[in-house]
Structure 1
Amino acid sequence: MSDFQRSPASPTTWTPTPAGGSVFSQGADVTRVLRNTYALLSMTLLFSGAIATATVSYQWPAPGMLLTLLGYFGLLFGIHRARNSGMAIPLVFALTGFMGWSLGPMLNAVLSLPGGANTIALALGTTGATFLALSAYVLATKKDFSFMGGFLFAGMIVALLAAVANIWLQMPVLGLVISGVVALASIGLILYETSNIVHGGERNYVMATVSLFVSIFNLFTSLLSIFGFAGSSDD
């Protein structure tokens, strides 16, 4: 009987290898997952950015909090259930496009401020540079950041609860603190998630892509809030 290895084309596609060969080569498998993850991540970032740009350009209505929560968690659940099927990729694009749509109102708010376009460019550039630097660090050092998982999860839960409370409190300073916590947690999650791929903890590039996309998205929106607040305070 022939051995099999995971094909890079799909999370559920398997191809035969010569009999007697190794079922998995750890190094080759890590490289394959990383390659597929970064390829899909690049496409979803471009797609989400295009949707966000269209939302701002054509003044599409905001989805609203309830629809945002239902759409976000519903699509995440769907991706998790379909992660080993052909439906996974379309659902990933649906999620990232939906998140781009939900970003529109925030971009419009920042653009209404003096120097708003520069603020968005600064947040975008900082996010991109941070992600590349963190990814390069983990790939070069192979350092294991798995110990950070529980702490980062707890931090994001606390930040989420504080953000919900601030909907009614309407405290700008608290919002700034929450953005700072989310930005730091997102940086930690990028390290954690990249390390998880490198050390064999994540072998499904669809789930790896979603995890990294959400961390990048949260980092960008947090930096946008911080830079936007700083810019408005200077006026």
Structure 2
Amino acid sequence: MTRRYRFYDNTTENANISSVLDVSSRRVLRNTYFLLSICLAFSAITTAATIALQLPYPGFLITIVGYFGLLFLVTKNRNSGLGILFVLALTGFMGYTLGPIVGYYLRLPNGAQTVMMALGGTALIFLVMSGIALFSRRDFSFLSGFLTTGILVAFFAGLIALFFDIPALSLAVSSVFVLLMSGLILHETNNIVRNGETNYIMATVTLFVAIFNLFTSLLHLLGFASRSD
């Protein structure tokens, strides 16, 4: 009786894996991470300056107008060098709005520990989600519709919690935002890898906004837990 042996040839599979992250996607990913690191550093500087100077929170209306106005300018100039300047302006402005929030938590008992835990949690989630997006062969583009709908619903729920002062709803929104922003990091990074996003300026903005919202949501949740102890 003749025995038949079946040998597994993974040449095709390896080729498929390497073809996902081609030269173009590598370039976009490299440029995105480089610009993102600059934006994070610049935002951290503006946050620290705002705390040191004890500048007040600009208010909801100015924050919304400033954010969407600068986002419009970034989008309009996404294919030119001017877009990078507007990205820095946007992230610097967001750092300024973050300063009074972080300053508030720093003044609380164990506030410094709460802020550091939020930073550590943000960094860990970003690394895990990015790692999954980079090394998984799965296409996560199916998350697009769910994330868009979820973010819109959570945003309006957050407005309700803010204007009607509903702490329980605010905590629920922060919890949902942690999940949504984690998914957004996964989706956007995977989108870059698969050439779905070819503009590193827009990719940088998306990842920065995800990191920003993830950090503030964790800060809110951890701050509440700290005050409850």
125, 128, 137: which is aligned to 2:132? 137
Unaligned 5+ runs, structure 2: 1-19
Alignment of 1:45-64 (within 5 A): 45-64=40-59
1:16-46 CA distance string (max 9 Å, x none): xxxxxxxxx9711011000000000011001
Q: Do the aligned partners of 1:142 and 1:198 also contact (CA within 8 Å) in 2? A: no
- Alpha-carbon distance, 1:81 to partner: 0.4
Tell me the residue number matched to 1:116: 111
1:133-157 CA distance string (max 9 Å, x none): 1111111113211001111111111
- 1:94 is the counterpart of 2:66: no
Tell me the residue number matched to 1:207: 202
Q: Which has the higher helix share?
A: 2
1:26/1:118 CA distance change after superposition, 3 Å: closer
Name the CA distance, whole Å, in 2 between partners of 1:58 and 1:177.
Answer: 32
Unaligned 5+ runs, structure 1: 1-24
Tell me the residue number matched to 1:17: none
Alignment of 1:1-235 (within 5 A): 27-234=22-229
Name the CA distance, whole Å, in 2 between partners of 1:108 and 1:30.
Answer: 39
> What TM-score do you get using the length of structure 2 for normalisation?
0.89
1:133-186 CA distance string (max 9 Å, x none): 111111111321100111111111111111111122212111110000111100
> What TM-score do you get using the length of structure 1 for normalisation?
0.87
- Alpha-carbon distance, 1:96 to partner: 0.2
Name the CA distance, whole Å, in 2 between partners of 1:122 and 1:92.
Answer: 27
- Alpha-carbon distance, 1:118 to partner: 0.5
Name the CA distance, whole Å, in 1 between partners of 2:143 and 2:39.
Answer: 26
Could you list the structure 1 runs, at least 4 aligned residues long, displaced by more than 4 angstroms after superposition.
Answer: none
Q: How many residues align?
A: 210
1:86-130 CA distance string (max 9 Å, x none): 210000000000000001121122112110010000000110111
Paired amino acid for 2:161: N
Paired amino acid for 2:216: T
Sequence identity percentage: 52
Name the CA distance, whole Å, in 2 between partners of 1:219 and 1:91.
Answer: 22
Find the structure with the greater CA-based Rg: 2
Higher relative contact order (CA 8 A, sep 6+): 2
1:49-88 CA distance string (max 9 Å, x none): 1110111111012211111001100000100000011210
Name the CA distance, whole Å, in 2 between partners of 1:144 and 1:155.
Answer: 20
